[in-house]
Amino acid sequence: MQGNTLFYVIGGLIAVGIIIAIVFVVKRYNNIKKNGVEADAVVSRIEENETTNDDGSTDYSYTYYVRFTAQDGQAVEARLGGAPRFTNVGDRVRIKYLPEKPRYAIIIK
């Protein structure tokens, strides 16, 4: 019985952690959407992330990065949220970012 309790506690903590992460990402996205500054950017790189599942199959996800010039004239490379999967390195995109935290941007659709 004690092993089951530990299993449920660990499972509950993992679930709470996932929920907190989701809330953080949604709040950041909405803050940038509402208060962000627009800029033209170029997709600078795409990282492929590989995950092996329990059944041996492999899933792939992609992290997109853009380069742009911030309001203060600083050249920035930022992680891009909301990039469509067909985006390629060199593509020009319109983004929004927060001047005080320019390392994360969202694509304007």
pLDDT for 28 equals: 76
Residue of 23 and 107 predicted with greater confidence: 107
In the chain, % of residues over pLDDT 90: 53
Closest among 109, 91, 101, 93 to 27, alpha carbons compared:
101
| Other beta carbons within 10 Å of 29 | 16
Please, which pLDDT band fits residue 3 given cuts at 50, 70 and 90?
low
Q: What is the pTM of this model?
A: 0.74
**How far is Cα 90 from Cα 101, in angstroms, rounded to an integer?**
23
Provide the H-helix boundaries in the chain: 2-35
E-assigned strands of 53-91? 58-69, 75-81
How do residues 66-79 score in pLDDT, each as one tens digit? Answer: 999 999 999 999 99
